Amino acid sequence: MSIPALFRQTVVSLEVFPPKPDAPVDMIHQTLVQLSHLKPDYMSVTYGAGGSRAGLTLEIAKEIPTLCGCPALGHLTCVGADKASIQQSLAQFQQAGVEAILALRGDVPAGRDAQTAFAHMPYASELVKEIVAYGGFSVAAACYPESHYQSDSQRDDLLYLKRKVDCGVDWLVSQLFFDNDAFFSFVDRARRIGIRVPITAGIMPVLNAKQILRMTTLCGASIPASLSRIIARYGEDPVSFAEAGMDFCCAQITDLLKGGVDGIHLYSMNRAKSATAILQRTGLRD
């Protein structure tokens, strides 16, 4: 079944990233096998900044149907890409049996400037058009409940999102967020301007205080008072922080499910143990 067809019920997806150059490639296989026990509806594989590790995205994505028994969603970015290179990547994904692509603009890699990085494809919407024209893929795109960090206004960001969806996006995967009110308000605004595709909630497990602070600074996600209290109280005590963070994450997901969210996309960070605990405690998996 194609991924878009799965959205008749709440879709549970997991995200993995290619291992660092010094890590054994076998490690990701073990992680995939452990995550497969959670029977995700699909698994996505991130794409390295600048495409430096693009080959690994493909290598991992092609293993997913066999190792995990679910479809793979390969991430692809506009960084340094032109029509020819995108067509080549799509041909490789197709040969590898990957049928779905998360079309992203990407960020400017260190040492490069935006003009050269995005010379041929300035926005993800251009990539969506290329994938749709190529044919044979379902297409996901990113969305930002609290707006993209570079956008001038919430309204502009939403209008650009609508334009991107209208290019042929089948479903949206959100940036991480911790404030469910912000997410539900974003979904309402999106629906009001005619964005009808499923919007799946990107959930980052709260396991490490420094990591949460670094990520929220990078992407601009707000920290609600309840999470702020956990950071203040347990920030210097990793074990207690991880326990309180797990409670926070499970409560966040439970509340999203009660609110009728289309899907939960867990940024599993290649950690099968915490992903398993989260999906089991929230009743999403046995």
Residues tagged active-site: 15
Stretch near ligand FAD under the rule CB under 6 A, chosen from 24-32, 64-72, 144-152, 190-198: 144-152
Contacts of 100 (CB under 8 A, 6+ apart): 2, 3, 42, 71, 72, 73, 74, 137, 138, 139, 140
Find the helix packing angle between 272-281 and 26-36, rounded to 10°.
10
Q: How far is the CB of 77 from ligand FAD (least distance, A)?
A: 5
Q: How many CA atoms lie within 13 A of 5 on its CB side?
A: 4
Single out the residue of 142, 167, 203, 256 in contact with ligand FAD (rule: CB under 6 A). 142
Out of 53, 62, 75, 271, which residue is the one contacting ligand FAD (CB under 6 A)? Answer: 75
Contact flag: residue 125 with ligand FAD (CB under 6 A)? yes
Per the CB < 8 A criterion, the answer to whether 208 and 230 are in contact is: no
Question: Is residue 61 near ligand FAD by the rule CB under 6 A?
Answer: no
Taking alpha carbons only, the member of 223, 146, 132, 141 closest to residue 183 is 146
Site string for ligand FAD, 195-224 (x = CB under 6 A): -------x----------------------
Q: Residue 86 is encoded by which pair of tokens?
A: 């995108």
Q: How many residues bind ligand FAD (CB under 6 A)?
A: 23
| Coil/strand/helix, residue 264 | strand
Note whether 175 binds ligand FAD by CB under 6 A: yes
> Which part of the chain contacts ligand FAD (CB under 6 A), choosing from 41-49, 240-248, 252-260, 268-276?
41-49
Asked whether position 53 contacts ligand FAD by CB under 6 A, the answer is no
Q: Which of 88, 116, 150, 280 binds ligand FAD (CB under 6 A)?
A: 150
C-alpha neighbours within 13 Å on the C-beta side of residue 170 = 19
Q: Which helix (DSSP H) or strand (DSSP E) does residue 64 occupy?
A: helix 54-68
**d(Cα 29, Cα 34) in Å, to the nearest integer?**
9
**Of 38, 43, 68, 173, the one binding ligand FAD by CB under 6 A:** 173
C-alpha distances (whole Å) from 218 to each of 30, 98, 150, 164 are: 30, 30, 11, 23
Binding residue for ligand FAD, selected from 98, 164, 209, 279, defined by CB under 6 A: 164
Q: For ligand FAD, which residue of 7, 134, 160, 234 counts as binding (CB under 6 A)?
A: 160
Of residues 7, 123, 134, 234, which one binds ligand FAD by CB under 6 A?
123
Q: Which residue in 64, 100, 124, 212 binds ligand FAD (CB under 6 A)?
A: 124
Residue closest to 175 by CA, chosen among 198, 142, 209, 133: 142
Q: How many beta carbons lie within 10 A of that of residue 233, not counting itself?
A: 12
Instruction: Tell me how far, at minimum, the Cβ of 47 lies from ligand FAD, in Å.
Output: 4
Three-class secondary structure of residue 73 per DSSP: strand
* DSSP at 70: S
Interacting span for ligand FAD (CB under 6 A) from 46-54, 60-68, 232-240, 250-258: 46-54
**Is 30 or 150 the residue whose CB approaches ligand FAD more closely?**
150
By CB under 6 A, tell whether 157 contacts ligand FAD: yes
From 58-66, 131-139, 148-156, 179-187, give the range in contact with ligand FAD by CB under 6 A: 148-156
